[in-house]
Structure 1
Amino acid sequence: MKKTILRGSALWMRPLAEQDIAPILKYASAPEIAANTFVPQPYPPKAAQEFVRKVSKEWQSGQAYTFAIIEAQSGCFAGVMGIHPVPEHKRAEVGYWIGLPFWGRGLATQALRLVIQFGFEELGLNRIAAGHFADNPASGRVMQKAGMRCEGARRAYHYHRDSFKDSVWYAILREEYGTDGTR
């Protein structure tokens, strides 16, 4: 697939590149990011480089599409969002994180809307899902604002930082896409 660029009013998204290594290292090292993701903590210096290399290969093979989120106003790297399709079932899962300086600006919601659009319109998916740790309800609000519906909780679903965590799952179907003005 070509190097897709997604554009919104407050941000634009492009495939991750080597220029993103330094900001990934900076933002992913924050304990608040590690608390809500599977990003290693402490974040090893080579981890960002390995991550960019891995997701670039996944993009080339069509295994997954991981985008850098760039704030339009500043031109600064703000976070990461990836969509991981399962083509034989026409579905995908989305994962993301936003750097702390960019929290509360609506970037995650806008980025998720763009990735949902990409999934339905470019990848031909029928279902897109995302989950969050139950103790991170802000991420659930992002999913709701992007048009996803809560499908329920999975108890002790993830083993994270030496304990089991519940996770809450949301999804949107192609037939629901755009019906609430999120298109």
Structure 2
Amino acid sequence: MPFALHGPTLSLRIPTEDDAEELLRLASDPEVTRWFSWGPYTDVAQPRRFLAGLPEERLLGFKLDLLAVHHEHGPAGITGLYEFSVRDRRCVCGTWFGRDFWGTGANRESKALLQHLAFELLGMQRFGSYSNPVNERSTKALLGVGLRHEGILRGYHRHGDDFLDVNIFGLLREQWERSPLRAEFAGAITVDGSPPPTFVADQ
């Protein structure tokens, strides 16, 4: 059975090449990709290249990107985990959603699913993330799902010809275990299949 996580209104699954057109539609908006080193998409060949590279990234344990699919409205964006250290049991999350899904609660639910994946299924000890200090929306969203602001990394992110500062956030297992977000979605998350074994820490 293909690996997927399901919440009340949102599911996360492995993307396939058939998702290219939807990703083009979602990420052709410059505001969606404003803070990233890529985009906006202008041609379907661009998401196709992204999708074609995902199997090798999963095989090598580099990155576990998942397609967020709203149960009523369809594909919403990409969310996932990267910067894995299985030895140190840590990873970082990253997410983008199409503009129609901003402010709908989809990001909050996706973070609950990702935290369940990281801590419950992969055996992680630390769940991290980044934001641009100027991007107040992203910063507030990360604080709102339980992550703590731990400082600023100077000149950390290359964006075109610029090197930008980033906020760094973290959530430890013991904090997640008593977090309001985990309690909010307790019993509402189901899982199909198993995550790729490359990302699973030895228990």
Structure 1 length as normaliser, TM-score? Answer: 0.90
State the partner residue of 1:35.
34
2:41 & 2:16 partners in 1: Cα distance? 22
> Closer, same or farther in 2 for the Cα pair 1:42/1:99, shift >3 Å?
closer
Q: Work out which structure has the larger RCO, using CA pairs closer than 8 Å and 6 or more positions apart in sequence.
A: 2
State the partner residue of 1:156.
155
- Measured after TM superposition, the shift of residue 41 of structure 1 is 4.1
Report the AA paired with residue 85 of structure 2: V
Report the AA paired with residue 57 of structure 2: E
Deviates more, 1:55-64 or 1:123-132: 55-64
1:87 & 1:143 partners in 2: Cα distance? 23
The answer to whether the Cα contact below 8 Å between 2:21 and 2:44 also exists between their aligned partners in 1 is no
Name stretches of at least 5 consecutive residues in structure 2 with no aligned partner.
183-203
The answer to whether the Cα contact below 8 Å between 2:30 and 2:39 also exists between their aligned partners in 1 is no
Residues 20-169 of structure 1 mapped to structure 2, 5 A cutoff: 20-41=19-40, 43-74=42-73, 76-84=74-82, 85-169=84-168
- Measured after TM superposition, the shift of residue 14 of structure 1 is 0.5
1:41 & 1:181 partners in 2: Cα distance? 35
Name stretches of at least 5 consecutive residues in structure 1 with no aligned partner.
none
Report the AA paired with residue 137 of structure 1: E
CA RMSD for the aligned pairs? 1.7
Q: Kindly provide the CA deviation profile for residues 126-171 of structure 1, in whole angstroms up to 9, marking residues without a partner as x.
A: 1010001111111122212221111111222212133232211111
- Measured after TM superposition, the shift of residue 44 of structure 1 is 4.5
2:177 & 2:88 partners in 1: Cα distance? 21
Identity %: 27
User: Which secondary structure does the structure 1 equivalent of 2:32 belong to?
Assistant: helix
The answer to whether the Cα contact below 8 Å between 2:20 and 2:44 also exists between their aligned partners in 1 is no
- Measured after TM superposition, the shift of residue 123 of structure 1 is 0.8
Structure 2 length as normaliser, TM-score? Answer: 0.82
